Amino acid sequence: MVEGDLDLAAIPRFRSRLRDVVRASQSNSTVAVNLSGVPFMGLMAVYALRDAAHDAADRSIDLHVVGCRPVHRRVILLAGAGALLETAGRRFSFASPLVMPEEPARESEPGSDRSPERSGSTREIRFE
């Protein structure tokens, strides 16, 4: 669980931790970033999450942000990153009904490299 403010002072450590966890994860696994302990999230945190989502997608890893508060969604949308994050290969999602309803599962399209089911493990990022 991420705890504390994700302000400019915390971003280098947050970005580094995200990168380390994604790179240590196996393909076809899931990484969960729990923001329930984050009272403040600045614009640079959105960019760190976006970069981690792309890094994860490149490695066939699902990255989920859980425990989002309405303020987190506002920051992401105000940053203009909502569409970018949603299109990061569907490997980035907000798993909180307070933020965005989950999309129904879709069958994979012919020729798609992603199956509707994910095998592997789920890892939660702890950042305190």
User: Is the residue at 29 inside a domain?
Assistant: yes
Q: How far is CA 1 from CA 53, 73, 79, 80, in A?
A: 17, 17, 23, 25
Count up the domains in the chain and report the number.
Answer: 1
User: Is the residue at 54 inside a domain?
Assistant: yes
User: Is the residue at 80 inside a domain?
Assistant: yes
- This prediction has a pTM of 0.67
User: Is the residue at 115 inside a domain?
Assistant: no
Domain CATH number, residue 85: 3.30.750
User: Is the residue at 128 inside a domain?
Assistant: no
Dist. CA 11–CA 64, nearest whole Å: 19
What pLDDT tens digit does each residue of the chain (128 aa) get? 899 999 999 999 999 999 999 999 999 988 888 888 999 999 999 999 988 888 998 999 988 887 778 888 888 888 776 644 544 444 455 543 333 333 334 444 444 444 444 545 555 555 55
Range of the domain at 86: 11-103
User: Is the residue at 47 inside a domain?
Assistant: yes
User: Is the residue at 41 inside a domain?
Assistant: yes
Angle among Cα 7, 100, 66 to the nearest 5 degrees reads 50
User: Is the residue at 64 inside a domain?
Assistant: yes
Dist. CA 4–CA 39, nearest whole Å: 7
